[in-house]
Amino acid sequence: MGRYVIRRLLQALLTLFITLFLLHYLTALSVQIRGNPALLFFGGERTPDPAMLAQVERLYGLDNNCYERPGDPCLVPFVERLQNYAAGDFGTTLQGNRDVGELLSIYIPNTLRLFIFSTITLVVLAMLLGTWAARHRGGLIDHTVRGTTILIDSIPVFLILLAYVYIMAVPLTNWARDIWGTESFMGQLFRPNYNPDYPWTTIIIPGIIVGTVGLATLTRLVRASQLENIGSDFVRTARAKGLKKSRITVVHVVRNSMIPIVTGVGYTFAFALSGAVLTEGVMGIPGMGRMIFQAVQRQETNLVIVGLTVTAVVVVLVTLVVDLLYAVLDPRIRYD
């Protein structure tokens, strides 16, 4: 087990290194092809003073000659970037000269809140619906569950968000405030936008919406995994002992069906990042997805790289945790 963990950690570090290099190389190509992003520091001024431009280039690490040679990987700036990251220095933005580390301290907690609610929503709904469908295989409930989840999954996330914001949020908010008051939990729950004074409450509904991404896939995975275990020998033995149907489902079927489900949750978590960009943009949530989107619009290359780096770290960590959970869920699995 220990050797496996070390091996997976080394693989994770290698994956992160390759990801960082690719991000750096693509950024270098963008600078080499599109021009010097340091010019954004001077706004609409087309011909800044050369001395001031050189100072800005040094400030943002753009003074290396490799940025003038198309195709050059710019290895020296890449090594310097890794050293800065290791020291906790993520640089500053071109516009506003804001510290990127301070921005991350604002954006990351909001995205984590969003993912907490979305993951809970996805897992709970998929487990309940998948178990329900498996217990009524081939019946009306089974077909209804599969059809409904596919229908929900086929609707784009941004369409669900827009329908909620412009059709449902306002009447629900007015109704809740008339009964419980503006500052109550219910009065803030249905708000059509994010409220920094209630960071947890106003992210619940967006988290639930993001949690519908991949619901059909995970529900069918739960159903298929449980159907496979329902026909196994240990389930027939449990029935022969006279155990209750609910106990057989929870203790024997659900528990032994968790490995493919955990795998599906890990992959769905990665895919949910795309839904977070749309959700944070429509609902006005200052999170990582919105930060990366705005950074691309403003050509804030450093902010884009840092945001994608954080995203890559999260995806790699989730994948590692999923791998390690296999042995916890199934003691028969050994890594040595």
Given CA atoms 303, 309, 311, 313 in this order, what sign does their dihedral have?
negative
- Are 153 and 212 a contacting pair, CB within 8 Å? yes
pLDDT of 336 higher than 60: no
Higher pLDDT pick, 236 / 44: 236
CATH superfamily to which 100-299 belongs: MetI-like (1.10.3720.10)
> Could you tell me the pTM of the whole model?
0.80
Q: Does the structure show a pLDDT above 80 at 36?
A: no
The token pair that represents 194 in the structure block:
């994010």
pLDDT digits (tens, 9 = 90+) for 134-177: 888 889 999 999 999 888 888 888 888 889 988 999 899 999 99
Indicate whether 213 pLDDT > 80.
no
Distances (CA, A) of 8 to 11, 157, 312: 5, 34, 15
Instruction: Cite the residue boundaries of each domain of the chain with CATH code 1.10.3720.10.
Output: 100-299
Average pLDDT, the chain: 83
Q: Round the CA-based radius of gyration of the chain to a whole number and report it.
A: 25
Name, in order, each residue with C-beta under 8 angstroms of 209's C-beta and a sequence gap of 6 or more: 118, 157, 160, 161, 164, 279
Q: Which of 233-242, 245-254, 324-333 has the highest mean pLDDT?
A: 233-242
Instruction: Taking residues 47-56, report their average pLDDT.
Output: 74
